[in-house]
Amino acid sequence: MRSLATACWLYGLLLATIVSGVRGSTETEPDFMSVRKNVTREYKSEKKIPTEKYFHESSFHYHYDGRFANETLPESEVIPHLSALVQTYFSTMNAIGAETWIMHGTLLAWWWNQKIFPWDNDLDVQISEATIHFLAEYYNMTEHHFDLPDVDGGRAYMLDINPNYVVKSEQDTMNKIDARWIDMSSGLFIDITAVRKDENKRKNGHPEALTCKDKHHYEESDIFPLRDSTFEGVAVKIPYAYTWLLEEEYGPKALTQTTFSGHTFNGATKIWESTKRKLKRFLRQGWRGDDLPVRTSDLNPIIET
């Protein structure tokens, strides 16, 4: 029964949606694959580097958007809010077919137990070059409302695209983040970075070269084809050569070292336990594992039998 209930939540996440401000009818949302060939945009000249930063973090903490909060959450509430961010982001992207995957520290957390590190307070994902154009064209500044367990009235999330995404030069150091998925109740967010073709390297004999504005460089075969997995109980994509990417970014010890930031990894329970033995109940059980947020909708989820 529990697995059936979880499946129902997941189908609700993927299929039911209400979006404000989408171009065209909200009854039929644009699907990535159906418009992929029509969203290519020319980039601005490398000589036109922005002089202003678009995303401004709050004055009280650099992982909060000050437009939506004026203080940090209590420590016990951070992980549940981040978990909901992951679940709502990927359910939304899955529903519209947008190409996105987890990366950096979030991918490292996935490696260990498919859950957010208990000491973490930020999340990172990447999207393809076509996807950033698609999201900017059809979903920029859209608000997405979800019903969440034990959250009266649910919670709203905003997709905010940095207009400077059309400048792909690494010289644009103030706009490394191309978009954010923001929890409008707390100000916490997911950083979204686009992976683009590295035209300079491709002209010099590297036909698979990819780059990000944050100066990470890849080969297409490092990331594609994307692999299917789960993270925080929701379907996600991970890069193809995930082990190599993690070792290259964090070193081999990051995949084997079982003590970090005041925590020890319990191989039996697959949980990062506080070395002070003050485990938080929400790290072991509760809504994170079994009860998922449901996108507000009048539609009935499809249930496989």
Q: Which of 182, 181, 183, 212 is nearest to 198 (CA)?
A: 212
Q: How confident is the model at residue 281 (pLDDT cuts 50, 70, 90)?
A: very low
Q: What distance separates the 2 farthest-apart alpha carbons in the chain? A: 59
The CA distance from 25 to 155, in Å, is: 23
CB 196, CB 128: distance < 8 Å: no
Backbone angles phi, psi at 214, to 5 degrees: -90, 15
Q: Which residue has the higher pLDDT, 220 or 66?
A: 220
The CA distance from 55 to 118, in Å, is: 26
Q: Which residue has the higher pLDDT, 15 or 228?
A: 228
Q: Would you mind telling me the total number of residues written for the chain in this entry? A: 305
- Three-state SS for 31? coil
pLDDT score at 9: 46
Q: Which residue has the higher pLDDT, 39 or 35?
A: 35
* Mean pLDDT taken over the chain: 83
CA distances 151 to 156, 222, 294, Å, are: 11, 39, 11
What value does the mean pLDDT take over residues 43-53? 76
pLDDT score at 58: 86
| Paired sense of beta strands 234-238 and 259-260, if any | unpaired
CB 119, CB 41: distance < 8 Å: no
What value does the mean pLDDT take over residues 25-54? 70
pLDDT score at 28: 54
Task: State the angle between helix axes of 75-96 and 2-15 in degrees (0 to 180), rounded to the nearest 10.
Answer: 60
pLDDT score at 139: 96
Q: Is the pLDDT of residue 267 over 50?
A: yes
What value does the mean pLDDT take over residues 269-295? 60
pLDDT score at 304: 31
Chain center to CA of 287: 20
pLDDT score at 37: 65
According to DSSP, the residues that pair with 196 across neighbouring strands are 211
The CA distance from 186 to 188, in Å, is: 6
pLDDT score at 46: 61
Q: Give the range among 98-102, 224-228, 262-266 with minimum mean pLDDT.
A: 262-266
pLDDT score at 293: 59
What is the set of domains in the chain, with CATH numbers? 53-256 (3.30.460)
Q: Is the pLDDT of residue 21 over 60?
A: no
pLDDT score at 253: 94
- 45 C-beta neighbours (distance < 10 Å), count: 9
Give residues with Cβ within 8 angstroms of 97, minimum separation 6.
31, 32, 33
Q: Is the pLDDT of residue 99 over 70?
A: yes
pLDDT score at 32: 77
Range list of H helices, the chain: 2-15, 32-35, 75-96, 104-113, 129-138, 199-203, 220-223, 242-250, 281-284, 287-290
The CA distance from 132 to 140, in Å, is: 10
Q: How confident is the model at residue 107 (pLDDT cuts 50, 70, 90)?
A: very high
User: What are the structure tokens assigned to 117, written together?
Assistant: 């590190």
Q: Which residue has the higher pLDDT, 230 or 3?
A: 230
Strands (E), the chain: 19-20, 100-102, 123-128, 142-148, 151-161, 179-183, 189-197, 209-211, 217-219, 227-231, 234-238, 259-260, 263-266, 271-274, 294-295
Backbone angles phi, psi at 177, to 5 degrees: -90, 125
Q: Which residue has the higher pLDDT, 291 or 26?
A: 291
Q: Is the pLDDT of residue 117 over 80?
A: yes
What value does the mean pLDDT take over residues 170-199? 96
Q: How confident is the model at residue 29 (pLDDT cuts 50, 70, 90)?
A: confident
Q: Is the pLDDT of residue 113 over 90?
A: yes
CB 180, CB 189: distance < 8 Å: yes
What value does the mean pLDDT take over residues 161-189? 95
**% of residues, the chain, pLDDT over 90:** 67
Q: How confident is the model at residue 150 (pLDDT cuts 50, 70, 90)?
A: confident
pLDDT score at 84: 97
